[in-house]
Structure 1
């Protein structure tokens, strides 16, 4: 079957992204997303032949994407996702997911062969931005994305951003309307990515929203895991130890917010997705250590987390100080947090953990 494409007039965008070429999809994915009765030329746009079941395409299937995909499949969704290496693809396939190789950095790949683009009813984007470019997928593939999606079934589009866009606010409480000043290059890239995906959603006439996530934790990725591994902290982790406030969110609550936004679609809303307790990192690790020592006595060395020098701990790091509000997420999406504080989240994680020391 030959595939034809429709050219499209570039839509207005504040960031002037451009496009380059495409990636590959498996035969099993083709059969799953394209039943024989509905295979067609992508350019026909014949809505009578489309399978309108709920189909989620996750661009960037990392920690959040995998957790969300598991939940969606339990709810009867068909889920496909992209990754950047053959190793990651194999791992995702072993987990039961349809995985597509796609790296926006590889100029030899082609976005045009990501087949679910036309048939996806929902699309979640979790691709890190690049300083100076914004979102790398939009930078290289914006016009092709629009021409592929405008003829498809897309109803809902969401971009996962970060509360880092607020920068240092001196510890103030900030909401989605807080003025953004003196931004770092990484924060500017995040904002460029946000605007790019919002512009694309508006041009397509679909529900589009941005989720600004706090520090993400969950099973296999939390202060508990750092304590259990007993590895030395990285320089960045040691610097963050001195922060007075850190907004965070359990991955299960991120999924709650995503599902709520699917049920209550918006045209361009931005939501902070964080818990109610922007506690200091040191406090979180102290609590995590206590939980581990209570459940598995004598396995953890006494004292604080290892570090490479007292001078680092004594140095006050103020960059990034803020407390992020989640009122809009609660009031407009109706989200009731499963884990409103880090204590609830870490307690739930350790209760589900098998002893990690048995194999040592």
Structure 2
């Protein structure tokens, strides 16, 4: 099976590194020449693609692919992969599986209540509204093509090199307190196993929430990371008084708890890291927070 990936960044990079032996060939795109060379040195075919402009070889490689993973977010409200390659993807007679990485942000604000894949999207910012439009277009493509299309709505991704432990060590961690606020998370290794499980058992035009078992207030994660490191946690800051950028502040506008029943029931997934505590403990054991950071193809992005 040949896999093509639009956007070999952090998440997709961990996926291809974990399951590279399951594919006869893996090819993907990055945005810079430096990342392209790093991936080629790691044994992956890589092409440059950015803002709808890409290498000439992308179309040929895509036409020879059996599975397609898309981790490129909308740019200025537009899905640049669909704008550039939708005709080729739709007409492909070989492509059988398409996975689009989206976000639980499409559900918007549920006031801390629970949502699942049947909950209608109700985004609260332009970033998530663009995701909803992209999701609909990918599902429409799946209805008019030979391939099975899958949407993966991801929680906040953490893992090697991207977690609370080094932030606590570096002094960058903050405990922002907004009463009743929940965030949803997922370890990058569990994202990878969900994707592989879907490729093995495709289900046409299906949506999956990819989150762990325990939505939690963000300050709890920082407190636990500090405890593991034997450090005092940073001081609490009231959300109303915290000096946050517009992007960071927007995340607090989505308050919900996301159910992950479908990935377990339909794909048979058993999470390696069912809570942030499991994930942080494993990361600490691997050297995170002590000057060590694991590397993957995606870590160059």
Relative to the length of structure 1, the TM-score reads 0.72
Q: Which of 74, 80, 83 in structure 2 is aligned with 1:139?
A: 83
Say how many residue pairs are matched: 288
CA-based RMSD of the aligned residues comes to 2.9
1:318 positional shift: 5.2
1:291 positional shift: 1.2
2:5 counterpart SS class: strand
Q: Which of 89, 93, 102 in structure 1 is aligned with 2:40?
A: 93
1:119 positional shift: 1.3
Cα distance in 1 for partners of 2:178, 2:149 equals: 35
Tell me if 1:255 matches 2:200.
no
Tell me if 1:345 matches 2:289.
no
Tell me if 1:167 matches 2:111.
no
Tell me if 1:283 matches 2:213.
no
Relative distance call for 1:207 and 1:347 in structure 2 (3 A) is same
Relative to the length of structure 2, the TM-score reads 0.86
Task: Spell out the pairing of 1:203-218 with structure 2 (5 A cutoff).
Answer: 203-218=144-159
Q: Which of 198, 219, 229 in structure 1 is aligned with 2:160?
A: 219
1:102 counterpart SS class: strand
Q: Mind listing any 5+ residue stretches in structure 1 that lack a counterpart?
A: 1-53, 294-299
- Tell whether the 8 Å contact from 2:155 to 2:184 is kept in structure 1 after alignment: yes
- Tell whether the 8 Å contact from 2:169 to 2:289 is kept in structure 1 after alignment: no
1:243 positional shift: 6.5
2:43 counterpart SS class: coil
Partner of 1:304: 234
Structure number, greater radius of gyration? 1
Relative distance call for 1:283 and 1:205 in structure 2 (3 A) is same
1:114 positional shift: 3.6
Relative distance call for 1:306 and 1:97 in structure 2 (3 A) is farther
Greater shift, 222-231 or 205-214, is seen at 222-231
Partner of 1:191: 132
Tell me if 1:229 matches 2:170.
yes
Bigger share in strand: 2
1:191 positional shift: 1.0
Cα distance in 2 for partners of 1:93, 1:305 equals: 44
Partner of 1:26: none
Cα distance in 2 for partners of 1:96, 1:241 equals: 45
- Tell whether the 8 Å contact from 1:243 to 1:316 is kept in structure 2 after alignment: no
Cα distance in 1 for partners of 2:222, 2:65 equals: 41
- Tell whether the 8 Å contact from 2:156 to 2:184 is kept in structure 1 after alignment: yes
Q: Which of 177, 202, 214 in structure 2 is aligned with 1:265?
A: 202
